[in-house]
A = this chain, B = another copy of it.
Amino acid sequence: MKFNKNLENIKTYETGKPIELVVREFGIEPKDIIKLASNENPYGTSPKAVAAVSDIVTKMALYPDDSMIKLKNGLSKRFDVENENIIIGSGSDQVIEFLIHAKASSSSKILMNSITFAMYEIYAKHVGANIIKTASQEHDLDEFYALYKEEKPEIIFICTPNNPTGDALDAQKIYDFLKKIDSDTLVVIDGAYMEYAIAKDSSKEIAVKKLIEEFDNVVYLGTFSKAYGLGGMRVGYGVADHNIIKELYKLRPPFNITTLSLEAASVALSDEEFVKKSVTLNLEQMKRYEQFAKEQKIDIINSYTNFITFCLNSNQDSTKISNSLLKKGMIVRDLSSYNMNAIRVTIGTEEQNSRFFELVKQFL
Residues 1-27 of A at the B interface (beta carbon under 8 Å):
1-4, 7, 10-13, 15-18, 21
Contacts of A251 in B (CB 8 A): 7, 10, 126
The CA-CA distance from A298 to B255 in the complex, in Å, is 33
How would you classify the secondary structure of chain A's contact residues: helix, strand, loop or mixed? loop
Taking a contact as CB atoms closer than 8 A, the residue among B12, B65, B104, B254 that contacts A249 in the complex is: B12
The reply to whether the CB of A269 lies closer than 8 angstroms to some CB of chain B is no
Q: Do B1 and A184 touch across chains, with their CB atoms under 8 A apart?
A: yes
Asked whether A183 is an interface residue with its Cβ less than 8 Å from the other chain, the reply is yes
Taking the closest CB of chain B, its distance from the CB of A87, in whole angstroms, is: 10
Q: How far is the CA of A93 from the CA of B255 in the complex (A)?
A: 10
A158 at the interface (CB under 8 A from B): no
A60:B69 contact, CB within 8 angstroms: no
Q: Determine whether the beta carbon of A63 is less than 8 Å from that of B231.
A: yes
B residues near A104, Cβ cutoff 8 Å: 4
Pairs A–B under 8 Å by Cβ, sample size 25 = A1-B216, A1-B243, A3-B247, A4-B103, A7-B102, A12-B246, A13-B252, A15-B249, A16-B67, A17-B69, A40-B61, A43-B61, A54-B57, A59-B232, A60-B232, A61-B229, A61-B230, A91-B253, A91-B255, A94-B253, A126-B251, A232-B258, A232-B260, A233-B258, A234-B258
